[in-house]
């Protein structure tokens, strides 16, 4: 329907006490005052707004409103007159109220170094195969990765998720599927593994390099992270190989530590947005305490190396932070902060992280081992830690805005 007010849509007859539900779509060149003008017209005709969305792409406006209006053609005439005066294209569609309007929704987040049209087509085909209907698409970021968010209504969640994971496995993109709702938008605590997650290194390998036993330690580390060895036994065995290493060598190893790209932005943004943050590590407090202080992290838990006369004894002090202990720490921090578990996020890469990933409201496998990818709620395989923000529905623009306001 064009903006010509002399052209009216043919609407079905209705009784005096019957309101019609219309989908109103307005398109045209964007400029200030359009939304206010439309709302003014709707207010004048006593319309009830049931839903409303607006998007602007390169200066072109698309504004949609689902409204319930009193019977008669006056409302339609007023809207068409508004479109004609504003040089906008206005269309109407009479819609029936149905259960689809209140169906539970899911959010599908697509992340990749680049995301092509063919890759997006795989995503939308997978959603359709599961019976889902795309309600909204929003671009979250252009860099350091490209990401889009799809709000999907209807369909079978399990089938949609499996179809999407199959599609993602065929191309170089990551796909996450989460229920839409307050629980997703109300995440308040983020708990991270450290080695190969927050930092690129395995800290014990850095210490082993200083001690000259890197090959022996690395082999044991890899077996433990794949879940092939008991973590505590393997850790104690590796620490014994470090006996006699000086604290100066520990300091030297610290200087070689490399944060994962985007780690500082990720932690800084979480802090500015009011998240509580914690790190839990199968590594050592000699490193995690420094990371905590450097990045402004709220909580830090790791293993304690025993030191005597300025050298490592090859023993640990206190309980080992293993797979089950990581989950207990997540629960403890959530309790101390009065945060429900469904509002927590856990991020890790190894078998040692599986329990906390399962316990958290959202478990994210970040560049993880296959056993972890298979168990986690969602996976992310791009090299940038701050890309996790997009899985939380935080846009790149919001990240940059938080940087400007500090």
Catalytic site positions: 193, 195
Q: 10 Å Cβ neighbour count for 164?
A: 26
**CA 32 to each of CA 153, 309, 397: distance values in angstroms, whole numbers, following the listed order:** 32, 71, 21
Which residues are registered as beta bridge partners of 52? 65
- Quick check: 71 and 14 in contact, CB under 8 A? yes
Q: 10 Å Cβ neighbour count for 342?
A: 14
Cα separation of 75 and 84, whole Å?
14
Please give the radius of gyration of the chain, using alpha carbons only, rounded to the nearest integer.
Answer: 27
Sequence length of the chain is: 406
Q: What is the DSSP letter of 192?
A: E
- Quick check: 243 and 387 in contact, CB under 8 A? no
Taking the mean position of all CA atoms in its chain, how far away is CA 250? 35
Cα separation of 22 and 67, whole Å?
5
Cα angle value 15/17/22 (rounded, 5°): 80
Cα angle value 194/199/200 (rounded, 5°): 125
Helical residues (DSSP H) of 95-240, grouped into ranges = 117-129, 157-170, 182-185, 203-211, 214-225, 231-240
Cα separation of 52 and 62, whole Å?
11
């Amino acid at each position: 329907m064009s903006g010509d007010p002399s052209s009216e849509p043919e609407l079905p007859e209705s009784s005096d006490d019957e309101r019609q539900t219309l989908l109103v779509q307005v398109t045209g060149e964007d400029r200030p005052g359009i939304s206010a003008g439309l709302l003014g017209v709707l207010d004048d005709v006593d319309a009830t707004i049931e839903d409303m969305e607006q998007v602007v792409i390169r200066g072109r406006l698309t504004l949609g409103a689902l409204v319930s209006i009193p019977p008669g053609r006056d409302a339609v005439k007023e809207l068409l007159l508004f479109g004609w005066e504003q040089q906008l294209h206005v269309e109407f569609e009479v819609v029936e109220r149905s259960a689809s309007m209140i169906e539970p929704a899911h959010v599908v987040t697509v992340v990749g170094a680049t995301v092509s049209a063919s890759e997006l087509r795989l995503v939308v085909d997978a959603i359709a195969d599961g019976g889902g209907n795309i309600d909204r698409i929003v671009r979250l970021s252009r860099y350091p990765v490209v990401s889009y968010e799809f709000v999907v209504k209807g369909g079978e969640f399990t089938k949609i998720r499996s179809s999407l994971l199959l599609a993602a496995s065929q191309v170089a993109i990551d796909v996450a599927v989460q229920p839409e709702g307050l629980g997703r938008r109300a995440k308040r605590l983020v708990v991270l593994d450290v080695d190969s997650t927050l930092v690129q290194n395995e800290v014990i390998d850095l210490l082993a390099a200083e001690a000259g036993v890197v090959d022996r330690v690395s082999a044991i580390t890899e077996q433990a992270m794949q879940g092939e060895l008991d973590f505590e036994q393997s850790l104690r065995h590796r620490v014994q190989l470090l006996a006699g290493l000086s604290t100066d060598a520990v300091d030297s190893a610290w200087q070689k530590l490399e944060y994962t790209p985007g780690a500082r932005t990720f932690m800084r943004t979480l802090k500015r947005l009011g998240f509580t943050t914690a790190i839990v590590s199968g590594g050592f407090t000699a490193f995690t305490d420094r990371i905590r202080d450097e990045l402004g992290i709220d909580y830090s838990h790791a293993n304690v190396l025993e030191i005597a006369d300025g050298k490592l004894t090859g023993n640990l002090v206190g309980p080992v932070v293993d797979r089950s202990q990581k989950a207990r720490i997540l629960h403890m921090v959530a309790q101390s902060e009065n945060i429900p578990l469904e509002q927590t996020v856990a991020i890790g890469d190894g078998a040692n992280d599986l329990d906390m990933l399962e316990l958290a409201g959202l478990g994210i496998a970040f560049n993880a081992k296959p056993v972890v990818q298979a168990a986690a709620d969602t996976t992310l395989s791009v090299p940038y830690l701050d890309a996790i923000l997009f899985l939380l529905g935080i846009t790149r623009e919001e990240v940059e805005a938080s940087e400007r306001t500090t």
